[in-house]
Amino acid sequence: MAPMCGIAGYIGPRKAVDVVFDQLKRLEYRGYDSAGIAYLNGDSTIHVLKRAGKLTELGKLLEDGSPDSGLAIAHSRWATHGAPTDLNAHPHFDQFGDIALIHNGIIENYLEVKAELMAEGHVFRSETDTEVAAHLIGREHASGLTLEESVRRAVRRLRGAFAFVVLSRREPEKFVAARNASPLIVGLGEGESMVASDVPALLPYTRKVVIIEDDRVAMLTRDGVVVTDLEGRPAPYEPMTIDWDVEAAEKGGYEHFMLKEIHEQPLVVRQCLAGRLDEAGRVRLEQVFSDHVWQEIDRVNIIACGTAYHAGLLGKYLLEMMLRLPTDVFYSSEFRYGDPLLSDRSLAVFISQSGETADSLAALRLCKSRRIRTLGIVNVVGSSIARECDRVLFTQAGPEISVASTKAYVAQSLVLQLLALYIAQVREMPGIRVGELVQDLREFESRMDRCLILEPQVQELAERFVGAPLVFFLGRNADAHVAREAALKLKEVAYVPTQESPAGELKHGPLALIEPGTLAVFGATDPEVREKLASNIREVQARGGFVLAVTTDDDTSLDGVSEAVIKVPAGRSSYLNALLSVVPLQMFAYHVARLRGCEIDQPRNLAKSVTVE
Ligand code: AGP
């Protein structure tokens, strides 16, 4: 499981090991915790260098000069689970030492394939899904198939979101790459070819690239690349010339990491759910507490800061509405000094993207000192909170660079949904249609993808309200919690003052702030409370306010009622509908900030991880 890693491969007249090591360095911004290189140098073995830790550790192995080699592949691993160790670092070998493989992404059905291979006598050295792919390809290759045909057969067997790069000591004049969802780009040079998971690694060597599509296999030689589909039929491709500079390339061509990470969210949904929804429509969570613990827990305390706290509010909504499980949400900084009521049948859940937030870590240690069970919902593997919680569920959102959290919030909220469904399964709760809710999760990626096309409409609204002195964010139930997250985004990247509250609270005070022209954003995705919301909308309009409603595309009740309406793709679950509505509001905050000329990825006064109290 390794989404968003660095992948590199080279064949040609240069010193291949130097090239791929340099390529890894150019992918360093993506975060990693171990790295490795495999290369051929004319003898009949595959040589491998790999180290846990920073790239400099791997670099130490090259200090006395790099080996002569015209073919090498390399990988920097951003672990999603499985400790970052030499053993888990890529490349991985097949059973016979014929091939070396590196992998980016997640193979969902690796356990069933692993069992089949073990039954045939294959012996595995690591716990990774990657090694299973290496053995599967190696088995086909050992039967006499070419490397590219072996890769095609293996890819047809595997499910998930992944990209592979493979070399064989038996076919040293080529290497092969395959893509199924995780990014893979080929670079074409004079007498040389290369591959990487992102453009910056190619630019020093060539600007002529081929974006490899899903379900495609590329065979790279010094003369160029041959691309086929999974059946071996030639697949046409159109080389393109990249005119980005390196910095633009690290953002995937987006102007800021924040926008890139907003647009990554469909892939993040897929990675977050991968391997956690089984064929029988049930949720599968790795290494969480045993069933009797989930039976006896009678209270959940969610503890977090900022955006993670807002995800926690959605978690409370879910655990209480769905499971009737009493849940409280605390700001970490408040929790630790508030002498909280804790019982031995309570569960403390720590949500944290970085896993290093000082207040959350201190609150975690307080709970552990009281012998309270702790569960982490964390993005960075190997982080303090991930290591110190009794159990941890990784959000698998990949590195989040922008200070303003977007994709991590969505991933945290999805993990909370998975957790709620898992508890419902364990408790065999009759009224909960787990299968239906799992199906809703399966459809969420495509609904998220369709949200991205709302951007032009959002940009127009951002242009209209770029000068707003104050913006309201309102909603009811889950929409009220999303409103708080949307408000935080606008505050932290565009420095716009906001007033966020449940819509029903307006007349208890905040309404006094409404003036002619004030923008009020209403989250209106929940049909159960939409009528009530309409009266709140009229309260704002009666005082000259401008209402932007964010609702679902099966709702027409607000057309012509509010001055502007944004519609996200509707689904059955009010929780997921509300979560989806954050996407246009993330974009709104981004575009207002861009128009105001703000330093979006590093807002003033803020840090990505608040490791001080
Ligand atoms: C969110 O956009 C902010 N960057 C900030 O509120 C952040 O969510 C908070 O500091 C918590 O960080 P963590 O998730 O890494 O613990």
The ligand 1 atom at the shortest distance from the C-alpha of residue 403 is 4
From the CB of 561, is ligand 1 less than 6 Å away? no
pLDDT(44) > 50:
yes
Highest average pLDDT, of 356-360, 484-488, 609-613, comes from 484-488
Tell me: the pLDDT tens digits for 528-580? 999 999 999 999 999 999 999 999 999 999 999 999 999 999 999 999 999 99
d(CA 403, CA 88): 29
Ligand 1 atom 6 nearest Cα: 306
Do domains 261-450 and 453-595 share one topology? The answer is: yes
pLDDT(36) > 70:
yes
pLDDT(249) > 80:
no
From the CB of 425, is ligand 1 less than 6 Å away? no
pLDDT tier for residue 4 given thresholds of 50, 70 and 90: low
From the CB of 308, is ligand 1 less than 6 Å away? yes
Among 350, 318, 555, smallest CA distance to 441 is for 318
How confident is the model at residue 81, as a pLDDT? 57
**Distance of CA 447 to CAs 411, 552, 580, Å?**
15, 11, 8
The ligand 1 atom at the shortest distance from the C-alpha of residue 609 is 15
Query: Is 5 assigned a catalytic role?
Result: yes
Query: Is 316 assigned a catalytic role?
Result: no
Ligand 1 center–CA 389 separation, angstroms:
18
Mean pLDDT of 448-473: 97
Tell me: the pLDDT tens digits for 55-69? 888 999 999 999 999
How confident is the model at residue 2, as a pLDDT? 44
Mean pLDDT of 207-211: 93
Task: Assess contact for 177 and 292: CB atoms under 8 A.
Answer: no
Mean pLDDT of 224-233: 97
Tell me: the pLDDT tens digits for 138-147? 999 999 999 9
Residue in 256, 359, 405, 410 to alter for ligand 1 test, most ligand atoms within 8 A of Cβ:
405
Which residue bears the tokens 């690290």?
250
Ligand 1 center–CA 610 separation, angstroms:
8
Ligand 1 atom 9 nearest Cα: 306
pLDDT(161) > 70:
yes
% of residues, the chain, pLDDT over 70: 98
Task: Assess contact for 164 and 133: CB atoms under 8 A.
Answer: yes
The partner residues of 346 in beta bridges, in order of sequence, read 299
The ligand 1 atom at the shortest distance from the C-alpha of residue 306 is 6
d(CA 567, CA 554): 8
pLDDT(1) > 70:
no
From the CB of 193, is ligand 1 less than 6 Å away? no
Tell me: the pLDDT tens digits for 331-352? 999 999 888 889 999 999 999 9
Residue in 256, 307, 608 to alter for ligand 1 test, most ligand atoms within 8 A of Cβ:
307
Tell me whether residue 119 is exposed, middle or buried, using C-beta atoms within 10 angstroms of its C-beta: 0 to 12, 13 to 18, 19 or more: exposed
Mean pLDDT of 470-484: 98
From the CB of 312, is ligand 1 less than 6 Å away? no
pLDDT tier for residue 175 given thresholds of 50, 70 and 90: very high
From the CB of 601, is ligand 1 less than 6 Å away? no
How confident is the model at residue 297, as a pLDDT? 96
Contacts of 225 (CB under 8 A, 6+ apart): 186, 188, 193, 210, 218, 219, 237
pLDDT tier for residue 80 given thresholds of 50, 70 and 90: low
From the CB of 332, is ligand 1 less than 6 Å away? no
What is the average pLDDT value for the chain, to the nearest integer?
Answer: 93
The ligand 1 atom at the shortest distance from the C-alpha of residue 606 is 4
From the CB of 610, is ligand 1 less than 6 Å away? yes
Tell me: the pLDDT tens digits for 180-203? 878 899 999 999 999 998 888 999
Residue in 350, 354, 415, 612 to alter for ligand 1 test, most ligand atoms within 8 A of Cβ:
354
Query: Which fold, 6-250?
Result: Glutamine Phosphoribosylpyrophosphate, subunit 1, domain 1 (3.60.20)
Ligand 1 atom 7 nearest Cα: 306
For residues 52 and 100, the model is more confident at: 100
How confident is the model at residue 243, as a pLDDT? 79
d(CA 359, CA 361): 5
How confident is the model at residue 128, as a pLDDT? 86
How confident is the model at residue 276, as a pLDDT? 93
What is the CATH number assigned to the segment(s) 453-595?
Answer: 3.40.50.10490
Ligand 1 center–CA 205 separation, angstroms:
37
- Sign of the alpha-carbon torsion through 279, 478, 609, 368: negative
Mean pLDDT of 266-282: 92
pLDDT tier for residue 3 given thresholds of 50, 70 and 90: very low
From the CB of 403, is ligand 1 less than 6 Å away? yes
How confident is the model at residue 88, as a pLDDT? 77
How confident is the model at residue 6, as a pLDDT? 87
How confident is the model at residue 23, as a pLDDT? 95
Pair of tokens at residue 200: 């910056």
What is the CATH number assigned to the segment(s) 261-450?
Answer: 3.40.50.10490
Ligand 1 center–CA 408 separation, angstroms:
9
Ligand 1 atom 5 nearest Cα: 306
Question: CA angle, corner 199, sides to 9 and 229, nearest 5?
Answer: 65
d(CA 359, CA 210): 46
From the CB of 306, is ligand 1 less than 6 Å away? yes
Task: Assess contact for 287 and 393: CB atoms under 8 A.
Answer: no
Mean pLDDT of 295-305: 97
Name the helix (H) or strand (E) containing 166. Answer: strand 160-168
User: What does the domain layout of the chain look like in residue ranges?
Assistant: 6-250, 261-450, 453-595
pTM of the model as a whole: 0.81
